[in-house]
Amino acid sequence: MTEQDIIKVLSDVRHPAKDDRSIVELGMIDRVDVDGNAVCVYLAFSKHRDPLTEYLVGSTKAALYRAFGKDILVEVKTEVKEAPKAAKKNNINDLTLEQLTSVKNIIGVASGKGGVGKSTVAVNLAVALARLGYKVGLADADVYGPSVPVMTATEGLQPEAVEVDGKELIVPLEKFGVKWMSIGYFAQPGQALIWRGPMACNALKQMILQVKWDELDFLLIDMPPGTGDIHISLVHDIPMTGAVIVTTPQAVALADVEKGIDMFRNKNVNRHIYGLVENMAWFTPEELPQNKYYIFGKDGGKKMAEKYDIPLLGQIPIVQGIREGGDSGEPVALGSRPDSMAFLDLARSLADAVSQE
Ligand SMILES: Nc1ncnc2c1ncn2[C@@H]1O[C@H](COP(=O)(O)OP(=O)(O)OP(=O)(O)O)[C@@H](O)[C@H]1O
Ligand SMILES: [Mg+2]
């Protein structure tokens, strides 16, 4: 592993906001130190608080691990080459909650379990709330597997950065009346995002705190699966007003979902749970909407809601169109079919639950 080898590898790391030119071509590699299997790369940024800092640091590390194996030691240091303006802040630690001051409700859409439909529920709920006339934003907090860009057909679009009061902010994308933000907008399509814990947390906080949300009634946060460090840090650091827990009816899902409930009720976190959404509650063939087949068992979510004394906000059927809507980027909540209405009912129940708090 020589300096030249490293430069060669880094010439494949591209800056999505600069016409996908490589960080080498853009002159961002200030210095590379190699010592045995340890490498330190100094990345130079031309402005303070570049919204892509965390992303480029992550991509640089990932490229080196991919090329030289995970046993090497990689450090990436960032520096700003231009003379700093006095008022500008440049550090991830300087991120403040200022951009959330005009956001009335910040609601995590979570579950202890993967694949239960958190993202599907979050995206459709956002669209449904917007249809009811609320101002809505959605931050995709799944930095490892962002699904919002595909589910809204916004992949490939690039949010702009603007300067507000000397701070660089990312402007969310707007579509279907909702403001969307996802780390997926800063990655190449299909590129696996490899992050170490603290980096993932920082990238995530940037996706929520460094965004020009302006006034919102609801900011939904599509949480990644699990109840690990990243979740606890997120729930701890973001002033969430509460959470919506998504589950499917099977017992195996319910056990994991209980961990999700415990996470929000943990005394260090202590966030209100507005209610439970039972997704995939029954299967309905599109041509026979009145037929219900309880393929994952009946009322598992409803029983869990009773057990934990949490309101059941809604039951969403399994319908082929919901999956197709996710894959094509046309959320079903935009339509007028029975399953579209299930999301509108859910949005009404959530708005009611929030207004009663
Ligand atoms: N009610 C539903 N009817 C039909 N398909 C559904 C439904 N809910 C979710 N799906 C499909 O199931 C798959 C998983 O859903 P989704 O990605 O929303 O789950 P998730 O909980 O966000 O997953 P992850 O834990 O990976 O973030 C997707 O293909 C989605 O389209
Ligand atoms: Mg998801």
Residue 318 CA: which ligand 1 atom is closest?
A: 3
Residue 239 to residues 21, 94, 99, 105, Cα–Cα distance (Å): 37, 16, 12, 9
User: From the CA of 101, how far away is ligand 1's center (Å)?
Assistant: 31
- Which residues of the chain form CATH 3.40.50.300? 98-355
- Report which residue type is found at 274: Y
The closest residue, in CA terms, to atom 28 on ligand 1 is 323
Q: Is the CB of 322 under 6 A from ligand 1?
A: yes
Q: Which ligand is nearest to the CA of 278?
A: 1
Q: Is the dihedral of CA 109, 114, 116, 122 positive or negative?
A: positive
Annotation: CATH topology of 98-355: Rossmann fold (3.40.50)
Annotation: CATH topology of 3-89: GMP Synthetase; Chain A, domain 3 (3.30.300)
What band does 142 get if pLDDT is binned at 50, 70 and 90?
confident
- 5 and 13 Cβ atoms separated by less than 8 Å: no
- Which residues of the chain form CATH 3.30.300.130? 3-89
- Residue 293 DSSP symbol: B
The closest residue, in CA terms, to atom 1 on ligand 1 is 318
- Report which residue type is found at 81: K
Prediction pTM value: 0.76
The closest residue, in CA terms, to atom 5 on ligand 1 is 323
For residue range 36-89, list pLDDT tens digits in order: 999 999 998 877 677 888 899 999 999 999 999 989 999 999 988 764 443 334
Percentage of residues of the chain with pLDDT beyond 70: 92
Q: Is the CB of 326 under 6 A from ligand 1?
A: yes
User: From the CA of 245, how far away is ligand 1's center (Å)?
Assistant: 14
* pLDDT (average), residues 125-140: 97
Of 261-270, 288-297, 298-307, 313-322, the range with the lowest mean pLDDT is 261-270
* Structure token pair of residue 212: 């020009």
The number of beta carbons lying within 10 Å of the beta carbon of residue 130 is 23
The closest residue, in CA terms, to atom 16 on ligand 1 is 117
Mean pLDDT, the chain, integer:
88
| End-to-end CA, the chain | 59
Of residues 260, 259, 233, the one with CA closest to residue 245: 260
Q: Is the CB of 231 under 6 A from ligand 1?
A: no
Residue 242 has what pLDDT?
A: 92
Of residues 21, 23, 43, 22, the one with CA closest to residue 32: 43
With the most atoms of ligand 1 within 8 angstroms of its CB, the residue from 323, 330, 346 to mutate is 323
**pLDDT over 50 at 90, yes or no:** no
Residues whose CB falls within 8 Å of the CB of residue 31, separated by 6 or more in sequence, listed in order: 41, 42
The closest residue, in CA terms, to atom 9 on ligand 1 is 117
* pLDDT (average), residues 241-257: 85
Residue 317 CA: which ligand 1 atom is closest?
A: 1
Residue 147 CA: which ligand 1 atom is closest?
A: 17
